[in-house]
Structure 1
Amino acid sequence: MFEIPDKKQLIDIAVTKHRNLIDQYTSEYEDMKSSGTLLTRQIHKEKEELAARSNRKEVLEEKKKLLCYQAKKMLQQLFDMLLTTDNTVPMHLKQIHKTLIQKGIELDKTKDLQRERVLIDEIKTVLEKIPQNDEVSKIIALINKKFEGAADSQTELQNLSNIKAQKTADETQVKDINERILWLKGRIDRHKQALSHWQEML
């Protein structure tokens, strides 16, 4: 025979229901808050990394340009010395000078990082063909050091350019989580009010 619950039993059922829902929503609420915090931190970290890479690229670009400028300036001074101190300048030295000027112009124009590396290596190879004495050798060593510094900057730029943004979170996800958190908080508050109401009736 079906037994009709008395008032106390009905209140107990209502109290249990609201307690269970409070526990359920509170558990999800805490999980969502934790997820939201982690995602917010991740977004902040990714933005900082992106800004740091961007700033580093600017520094490397300026450093590379300065080193190349200094190297070409020294190179021109070297040839000014070689072409004016020797009245019988070999034809191949003039050709070397012409080749270096052409490669320097191309180095200024190119925007391709890999091509820049190739051109710097080619310039260093051509420099080895210059007849050398102690003074010339020292100057060429300094020029090579400048170009090598530019090449190192170029290599780091290439590596930075190859880094793909590991975007694991975005503002949309955080927005969705925050909306869910607000909804859960509202449900928890309402069920707490309902629980308090039923408990007062016991």
Structure 2
Amino acid sequence: VFMLPFQGAVIAGTTDAPCPVTTRPRASDAEVAFILSTLSDYLGVRVPPSDVLSAWSGIRPLAHVPSANAAGSKQAVSGGGGGDTASIVRDHVIFTDPDGLLNVTGGKWTTYRRMAEDVVNDAVASGRLPLSTRPCLTSDLKLLGAQSYRPSLAAELAQHYRAGAGAGTQGGHARLSLDTATAEHLAHAYGDRAHMVLGIAERQGLGAPLVRGLPVMEAEVVH
């Protein structure tokens, strides 16, 4: 079980149990109770269900490999089946169909770049891509917002749009002012693209908080 601070609250999880595949998975009462019970044991105080603000669930595909090899295995994959998921690997698995189709299965959102890298490199090594193709470059590519990001960005945003300095108007709207919490949120969530969000806020007058008490602004929905 993990606990992550998030916007004045705590995200706690997670469970790992077999389930039917549905378009709208929901956290069961038993799963919520398990997490709360485990948290209570760890914290030494009872965490009641009334403390839960929301709960959600997702379905993660797991690749069942007989030899339980980790990522990059070339072995065929069969359905997990059964009710025990403990023996199923959490990494992704690469395998080739009899007709030569290269597949990747399993894995998770947080390792999507490693999955892509392994598949591309496997395709190059096996001759499915031209020999002139370079190995996958994803490890050296920056994500959107990281091109000119710097640790001082939040402070720079707060200084430029400092709260209380909003006299006058901008495009028919009150000039935007930004508190420290909102500046830190935008810098963390958007990197150097925070300026794009703030531009929308200024031009369209969408600088108000989307939810009272949280640093998320209306312009983020438009962006």
TM-score by length of 1: 0.23
Larger Rg: 1
Give the number of the structure with larger relative contact order, counting CA–CA contacts within 8 Å between residues 6 or more apart. Answer: 1
